[in-house]
Amino acid sequence: MVIYFVFLTISAATYALFSLGLNLQWGVTGLINFGHVAFMAIGAYSTVLLSLQGVPIPIAVLVGAGLSALLGLLIGISTLRLREDYLGIVTIGVSELVRLVAKNEAWLTKGTFGVQGYPVPFDFKPDYPTRILLIVWLTAICGVALWQLWLWLRVKISARLLGGSIASIFVLTVYVCGALSLYTYDPRAGLMLLTLTTLTVVYIALEKLVHSPWGRVLKAIREDEEVPRALGKNVFWYKLQAFMLGGAIAGISGAFYAWQFSVFPDNFEPLITFNAWIIIMLGGAGNNLGTIIGAIVFWGYNTITRDESFKVVFRALHLDDTQQGAFRVMIIGLVLMLIMVLRPQGILGKKEELTLGR
């Protein structure tokens, strides 16, 4: 049970990191990206292929992030001057192009067999002092998370209280399960610690950027790009920066996705992108902490509905395995429709953050 929760934590943190990149592009800047998974695929393949060639893992991850940013540059230069709907079409096309290249260029990506046997971080057996140090490290990360939640909950909004309570319980459970796993030591516990650390660093950096003058220009572009243009801002350059940075973050998440799951072309289908859209809509567009909480809620739902006790409901409805999967997706679709009608800013977002519905 403890190891399974560690798996759940890594998955939620990886998707949260992936969704933060999309949130910067769409939630903050207003750029529609339906092919965000392409950046994740570039990051995943670059990291594992380079590490197999003996490149140190940190450098491989940075190269993957750089190549993902380069892909953002190439897409942005050619499409960011177009209308938003054209950008969405181009991005989903690019994501499928990347997946098909990975599937067919076996000389580079191993094709449909995928990449296997690559090194992963923290795959060692630490001594007792090192395990204690790792537990202290986890304590610091969870302490930062609880502190950020407390700051966020000072504004007593019912939706925030609900989301904050869920996130607080999740953080405390992560700490208990993580500390137990680190003490007995399982390599997945080390990966969990690295994932949470990366997520924390990226979150803090994005919060500083979004609330800086640079971030305020991005929000102005999202609301009405003619206003910052009239004030002398280079709107295209700001859009390109946001698109590249969001792509680089997704590239980093691709490395964790590879270490957590596997690297096969069909693992990078458009559904991964739309899962990130679901997470952002749940958490609230433009809200970084809300995006992380949205990832927790999304993976919580995904886990609970796969549990054997919940499948009693499916059997009562006489649904087979295929129908059960479709039913779970249908429920998510209905929830999103209700959110868009009742709370277009997201369950945990602020209405004043967006002009949607005005």
pLDDT of residue 357 exceeding 50, the answer is: no
What pLDDT digit, counting tens, does each position of 216-228 carry?
999 999 888 888 9
Domain ranges of the chain: 2-353
**What single letter denotes the amino acid at residue 169?**
I
pLDDT of residue 215 exceeding 90, the answer is: yes
pLDDT of residue 144 exceeding 50, the answer is: yes
User: Please, which residues bridge with residue 263 across strands?
Assistant: 115
**CB contact set of 354 (below 8 Å; sequence gap of 6+):** 285, 286, 344, 345
DSSP 231: T
Question: Which residue, among 5, 36, 6, has the nearest Cα to 253 in the 3D structure?
Answer: 36
Mean pLDDT of 187-201: 92
The residue count of the chain comes to: 358
* 156: helix, strand or coil: coil
Q: What are phi and psi of 212, to 5 degrees?
A: -90, 170
- Phi-psi region for residue 232, left (φ > 0), alpha (ψ -120 to 50) or beta? left
Quick one: three-class SS letters along 281-295?
A: HHHCCCCHHHHHHHH
pLDDT number for residue 308: 61
* 171: helix, strand or coil: helix
The C-alpha atoms of residue 321 and residue 327 are separated, in whole angstroms, by: 10
**What's the pTM value of the predicted model, to 2 decimals?**
0.90
With contact defined as beta carbons under 8 Å apart, do 250 and 21 qualify?
Answer: yes
Question: CA dihedral defined by 98, 13, 10, 168, rounded to 10 degrees?
Answer: -160
Quick one: three-class SS letters along 239-286?
A: HHHHHHHHHHHHHHHHHHHHHHCCECHHHHCHHHHHHHHHHHHHHCCC
Confidence class of residue 34 from pLDDT cuts 50, 70 and 90? very high
pLDDT number for residue 182: 87
- Among 106-115, 156-165, 220-229, 341-350, which stretch is predicted with the lowest mean pLDDT? 156-165
The residue whose two tokens read 């607080």 is: 168
DSSP 111: G
pLDDT number for residue 159: 54
pLDDT number for residue 53: 93
pLDDT of residue 344 exceeding 80, the answer is: no
What pLDDT digit, counting tens, does each position of 292-326 carry?
988 988 888 877 777 665 666 667 777 777 777 77
Mean pLDDT of 60-88: 89
pLDDT number for residue 162: 63
What average pLDDT does the chain have? 86
pLDDT number for residue 356: 43
* 115: helix, strand or coil: strand
More confident residue, 266 or 4: 266
pLDDT number for residue 149: 81
Confidence class of residue 112 from pLDDT cuts 50, 70 and 90? confident
Mean pLDDT of 175-194: 88
Q: Could you tell me the CA-to-CA distances from 79 to 82, 84, 221, 249 in Å, in that order?
A: 5, 9, 16, 20
